[in-house]
Amino acid sequence: MPYTEDRTTWYEGQGLWSDIPEDQWKDWTWQLRNRITTLEQLEERMTLAAEEREGCRHANQKLAMAITPYFFNLIDRDDPDCPVRKQVIPRAGEMEVSAEEMLDPVGEDSHSPVPGLVHRYPDRVLFLVTDRCAAYCRYCTRSRLVSNAQDYNFHPEFEQGLAYIESHPEVRDVLLSGGDPLLLSDKKLDYLLGRLRQIPHVEFIRIGSRIPVFMPQRITEGLCDVFRKHGPIWMSIHVNHPKECTAELKDACERLSFAGVPLGNQSVLIKDVNDDTDVMKSLIHRLLRMRVRPYYIYQCDLITGSAHLRASVCKGLEIIKSLRGHTTGYAVPQYVIDAPGGGGKVPINPQYIAKIDDDAIHFRNFEGKLYRYPLKSFTIDDDCRCAEKEIEC
Ligand SMILES: *Cc1c(COP(=O)(O)O)cnc(C)c1O
């Protein structure tokens, strides 16, 4: 069924937990303590499909299950195909491993000079500061270490990581991730951000977090004060479907924005969740309304047991084609594949260039009409002339 955009409703409320006092519901530690983590807790609240029951039985050997009450409310319990449900409830497919899948699909461990720090690009590092999240995405690219279901025994080494960054003046950009950095206490974050700010060559600090989406209650004024104190801190959140854009998330994004935190969004393209032009268009429009700039759409990494969740690359291209030129430029994210084995993120774009010859570059606009821009007055090198062939999907 085609997805119809709902422009007016921002879901809010305590749903299944309406008997809980509001101050508890709004307390993020209550949300954490009351997460759904077992098959039994899940079955008390909804009827599962056989493949979900099977998935839950095995989750603790792969990636733990955890769903905050807030996020659980976003699941349509009567719809086995609910796009929110598929992101957090394990299914049997997780136990099926195909030949192309890997435990470390983007080769992070081989680019890790000290435990918990990935230095792949010349000027920036990925700093993994915890192995825990508020809830677990079933397609997690770091499931080898996140939640510790696979006994990886990751222990974040703040001091080793900080020492590495201090001694590498080429590192101007530090990305805190994990796990989810916003699970750390305000005090720990204050310490970490303070230490990073003391390093003169670190110009840019950002945090990758899905906590605003899983547990917007975590975005307290106290946390916002930490960001104000050490700002500018940038943040990438992770919203996959317009159903996740609730009144609570909108408020959390507003608090972050007003604390001076520029917000971007990273979506993962997931089969039957958001591999659809109407769903994506609705999502990015909602993001803009929440002050969030769509940043990346990721092709799903080849993580073990993800075949049932991975959407096709042609769908990704079709989505970008349907957006660029057809809606606000700010709303259009960059579609990327994180190259299997460790090549980094590579932009994957629809083919707009038709031909480059000595006279002109010939290209198509968003309507498919052909245009040309003369090149007579420029030198054209071979790299440029050799335009790629038309891709057919
Ligand atoms: C994604 C990523 C970054 C940040 O990449 P940007 O394109 O700058 O957002 C940095 N390091 C690693 C290892 C990454 O995977």
Residue type, 246: T
At 212-250, the pLDDT tens digits run 999 999 999 999 999 999 999 999 999 999 999 999 999
At 290-349, the pLDDT tens digits run 999 999 999 999 999 999 999 999 999 999 999 999 999 999 999 999 999 999 999 999
CA atoms within 13 A on the CB side of 384: 12
Look at 198 and 382; give whichever has higher pLDDT.
Answer: 198
Q: Which residues contact 229 (CB under 8 A, 6 or more apart)?
A: 190, 193
The whole-number pLDDT of residue 393 equals: 46
Any idea which residue has 């957090």 for tokens? 88
pLDDT band, residue 192 (cuts 50/70/90): very high
Q: What is the mean pLDDT of residues 56-66?
A: 95
Q: Is 224 a catalytic residue?
A: no
Q: What is the C-alpha separation between 2 and 277, in angstroms, rounded?
A: 10
Q: What is the C-alpha separation between 62 and 145, in angstroms, rounded?
A: 10
Q: Which CATH number fits domain 109-347: 3.30.300.30, 3.20.20.70, 3.30.930.10, 3.40.50.300?
A: 3.20.20.70
Residue 232, preceding bond cis, omega within 30 degrees?
yes
pLDDT band, residue 385 (cuts 50/70/90): low
Tell me the average pLDDT of the chain.
95
Percent helix, strand and coil across the chain, each to the nearest 5: 35, 20, 45
Q: What is the mean pLDDT of residues 259-285?
A: 98
Residue 222 burial (CB < 10 Å; 0-12/13-18/19+)? exposed
Q: Could you tell me if the CB of 336 is within 6 A of ligand 1?
A: no
Question: What percent of the chain has pLDDT above 90?
Answer: 91
Q: What is the C-alpha separation between 336 and 117, in angstroms, rounded?
A: 22
Q: What is the C-alpha separation between 38 and 49, in angstroms, rounded?
A: 15
Instruction: From 218, 252, 256, select the one nearest 234 (Cα to Cα).
Output: 256
Are residues 261 and 231 in contact, defined by beta-carbon separation less than 8 angstroms? yes
Q: What is the mean pLDDT of residues 241-265?
A: 98
Alpha helices in the chain (DSSP H): 22-25, 28-33, 39-45, 50-62, 69-72, 85-88, 158-166, 186-197, 211-214, 221-230, 247-258, 277-289, 313-323, 382-385
- Tell which one of 124, 204, 335 to mutate to probe ligand 1, the residue whose CB is within 8 A of the most ligand atoms: 124
Q: What is the mean pLDDT of residues 123-134?
A: 97
pTM for the model: 0.96
- Tell which one of 111, 235, 345, 346 to mutate to probe ligand 1, the residue whose CB is within 8 A of the most ligand atoms: 345
Q: Could you tell me if the CB of 121 is within 6 A of ligand 1?
A: yes
At 89-103, the pLDDT tens digits run 999 999 999 999 999
Q: Which atom of ligand 1 is nearest to the CA of 344?
A: 15
Are residues 209 and 265 in contact, defined by beta-carbon separation less than 8 angstroms? no
Write down the domain spans for the chain: 15-89, 109-347, 353-391
Instruction: From 228, 232, 243, 231, select the one nearest 274 (Cα to Cα).
Output: 243
Q: Is 121 a catalytic residue?
A: yes
